[in-house]
């Protein structure tokens, strides 16, 4: 039987999509004093003052047609009343927002605030973007697109209110044009689009301002950010009285002719995250009988690896190829009673052979899929562009269809579970968009599975650790340019041991599991 899916999401940062945020707003807005928009504007003004510091330079505020624009008018008024030289840009004769936004505009005019219909010259200490928030419904065109272009050319900090305008708050997709902010002050709750796809390139530093609202009391989170709190209870020091059998066996299958390196990278990663023994079933008959740089790896034929009954987990795919022999191995692998990780060409074979899909959905043990967007597109008979349009929907659809836990890799990897829950991982950097990184991720997941981590936590933990390892290297000046997968393995070992060393032994969850 598959392991029960016991994940404690309570300590994680919650993510709310636009529909859920509307429910929260509807719940609190009628009785809130001061009005939510006044609170949002005041919070934005405080953030703006923090960014300009003591400098009383000029501040430009772009205000859009809806309530995001309303936040902007409140912020502009408060900054002006504090003594700042504030210019508002707004081009709507009639405010289309709710009553609060109309009032905010009127209050701005009441304090003598001027409104210009175009972005004036540069020379600002700060630009505040309050054009569009979670109400963006279509690509930005026309005059607002030219405003965004002008701001993106300016050489000053840009503070986005709630969401950088043009970024879809649910998906992280740029709709036509988007502000490239240096800071984003997001209101009420974190939004998924800030952390995946184009979000991280447009948000800069994100701060959360909950405006005193308790979101969870109204509606459950839509998803969560992956955090180490999720697997803190598994970060335990090893028992002194242990042996290699205690730390499990990882079985890896792949490494066809010319692609042996992929299987070796995965094997080394499994070993260096702590698997007791790692067997690599190498398709290439001509491959060396051992890995000279890592002689601890046990190189076998794929059939020997799959026939073994010692497996805690089987990971198949790195360098597998799509030959008839590879297909046969896939048919054997899906029958394994162990937790199964499918990566790379294993996913491509799965996309092409319906019998594999059927066998997969009948498995009792857990299955983990690690597609990048192109592999995901093949699995869902879609295009990469459509997959990326809504990465959360795509990952959830994969999880549902294949009854598997899935990581859709890329900027802000999305992890979806078959029960519908989803997570975004925020560790990692663009240096990790290079050859062999996926093989290392597969190896890390296999290594954690070998050590007895429950399947979903091995997936979430492996993805988080992989990114953390890459981030440590960048902090050491070894990336992002030229970061190599081999270095990430070494760094993951250090990061994993540091996590374990830092784990709080008094954590109450330690005593309950
Ligand atoms: N309600 C509350 O309690 C609180 C709300 N808060 C704030 O409100 C924000 C949400 O406000 P919102 O719903 O008014 O949406 P917003 O993003 O301002 O834009 C909607 C307007 O834009 C228009 N429009 C859309 N796309 C367009 C395009 N491409 N090109 C041109 N027009 C386009 C759209 O027109 P329509 O689609 O109807 O034609 C509509 O007029 C939220 O992000 C937060 O900042 C906070 O103060 C906390 C309290
Ligand atoms: K905005």
Q: For residue range 159-172, what is the model confidence (pLDDT) as tens digits?
A: 999 999 999 999 99
In the CATH scheme, what is the code of domain 244-503?
3.40.1190.20
For residue 340, which phi and psi values (nearest 5 degrees)? Answer: -120, 130
Residues of the chain with CATH 3.40.1190.20: 244-503
Residues of the chain with CATH 3.40.50.10260: 15-222
Tell me the pLDDT tens digit for each residue of 174-229: 999 999 999 999 999 999 999 999 999 999 999 999 999 999 999 999 999 999 99
Determine the pLDDT at residue 22: 96
* Helix (H) and strand (E) counts in the chain: 18, 18
Tell me the pLDDT tens digit for each residue of 245-257: 778 999 999 999 9
Half-sphere exposure at residue 153, Cβ-oriented, CA atoms within 13 angstroms: 10
Which protein residues touch ligand 1 with a CB less than 6 Å away? Answer: 25, 29, 36-37, 40, 64-69, 71, 96-97, 132-140, 161-162, 187
Tell me the pLDDT tens digit for each residue of 348-399: 999 999 999 999 999 999 999 999 999 999 999 999 999 999 999 999 999 9
Q: Is the pLDDT of residue 291 over 80?
A: yes
pTM of the model: 0.95
Question: Using CA atoms, how far apart are residues 48 and 52, in angstroms rounded to an integer?
Answer: 6
Q: Is the pLDDT of residue 513 over 80?
A: no
Is the sign of the CA dihedral 71, 102, 179, 163 positive or negative?
positive
Question: Using CA atoms, how far apart are residues 17 and 334, in angstroms rounded to an integer?
Answer: 35
Q: How many other C-beta atoms lie within 10 A of the C-beta of residue 156?
A: 18
Confidence of residue 4 (pLDDT cuts 50, 70, 90): very low
Half-sphere exposure at residue 458, Cβ-oriented, CA atoms within 13 angstroms: 33
Neighbours of ion ligand 2 (CB under 5 A): 129, 160-161, 165
Q: Is the pLDDT of residue 258 over 60?
A: yes
Determine the pLDDT at residue 288: 83
In the CATH scheme, what is the code of domain 15-222?
3.40.50.10260
Binding residues: 67-71, 129, 133-139, 162, 165, 262, 319, 372, 409-413, 438-439
Q: What number is the ipTM of this complex? A: 0.98
Residue owning the nearest CA to atom 45 of ligand 1: 68
Residue 224 contacts residue 9 (beta carbons within 8 Å): yes
Q: Which listed ligand is nearest to 19 at the C-alpha?
A: 1
Find where tokens 């405003």 sit. Answer: 147
Cα of 172 vs centre of ligand 1, distance in Å, is 17
């Amino acid at each position: 039987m598959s392991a029960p899916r016991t994940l404690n999401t309570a300590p994680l940062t919650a993510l709310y999509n636009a529909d859920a945020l509307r429910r929260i707003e509807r719940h609190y807005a009628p009785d809130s004093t001061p009005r939510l928009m006044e609170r949002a504007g005041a919070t934005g003004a405080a953030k703006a003052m923090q960014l300009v510091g003591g400098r009383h330079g000029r501040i430009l505020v772009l205000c859009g047609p809806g309530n995001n624009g309303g936040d902007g008018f409140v912020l502009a008024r408060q900054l002006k009343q504090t003594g700042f030289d504030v210019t508002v840009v707004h081009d709507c004769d009639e405010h289309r927002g709710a009553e609060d936004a109309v009032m905010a505009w009127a209050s701005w005019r009441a304090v003598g605030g001027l409104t210009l219909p175009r972005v004036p010259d540069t020379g600002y200490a700060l630009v505040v973007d309050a054009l569009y928030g979670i109400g963006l419904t279509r690509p930005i065109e026309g005059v607002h697109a030219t405003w965004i272009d002008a701001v993106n050319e300016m050489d000053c900090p840009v503070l986005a209110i709630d969401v950088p305008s043009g970024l879809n708050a649910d998906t992280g997709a740029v709709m036509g044009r988007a502000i490239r902010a240096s800071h984003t002050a997001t209101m009420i709750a974190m939004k998924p689009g800030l952390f995946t796809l184009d979000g991280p390139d447009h948000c800069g530093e994100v701060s959360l301002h909950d405006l005193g609202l308790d979101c969870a009391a109204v509606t459950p989170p839509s998803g969560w950010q992956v955090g180490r709190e999720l697997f803190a209870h598994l970060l335990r020091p090893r028992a002194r009285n242990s042996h290699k059998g205690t730390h499990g066996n990882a079985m890896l299958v792949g490494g066809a002719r010319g692609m042996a390196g992929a299987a070796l990278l995965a094997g080394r990663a499994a070993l260096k995250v702590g698997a007791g023994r790692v067997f690599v079933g190498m398709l290439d008959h001509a491959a060396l009988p051992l890995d000279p740089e890592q002689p601890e790896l046990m190189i076998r034929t794929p059939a020997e690896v799959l026939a073994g009954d010692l497996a805690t987990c089987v990971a198949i795919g790195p360098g597998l190829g799509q030959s008839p022999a590879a297909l046969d191995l896939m048919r054997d692998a899906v029958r394994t009673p162990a937790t199964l990780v499918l990566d790379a060409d294993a996913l491509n074979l799965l996309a092409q052979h319906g019998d594999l899909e059927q066998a997969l959905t009948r498995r009792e043990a857990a299955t983990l899929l690690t597609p990048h967007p192109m592999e995901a597109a093949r699995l869902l008979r879609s295009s990469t562009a459509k997959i990326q349009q809504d990465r959360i929907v795509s990952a959830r659809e994969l999880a549902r269809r294949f009854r598997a836990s899935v990581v859709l890799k890329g900027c802000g990897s999305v992890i979806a579970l078959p029960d519908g829950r989803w997570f975004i991982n925020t560790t990692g950097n663009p240096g990790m968009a290079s050859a062999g990184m996926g093989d290392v991720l597969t190896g890390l997941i296999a290594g954690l599975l070998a050590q007895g981590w429950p399947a979903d936590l091995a997936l979430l933990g492996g993805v988080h650790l992989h990114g953390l390892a890459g981030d440590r290297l960048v902090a050491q000046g070894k990336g992002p340019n030229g970061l190599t997968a081999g270095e990430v393995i070494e760094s993951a070992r250090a990061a994993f041991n540091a996590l374990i060393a830092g784990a709080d032994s008094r954590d109450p969850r330690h005593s309950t599991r």
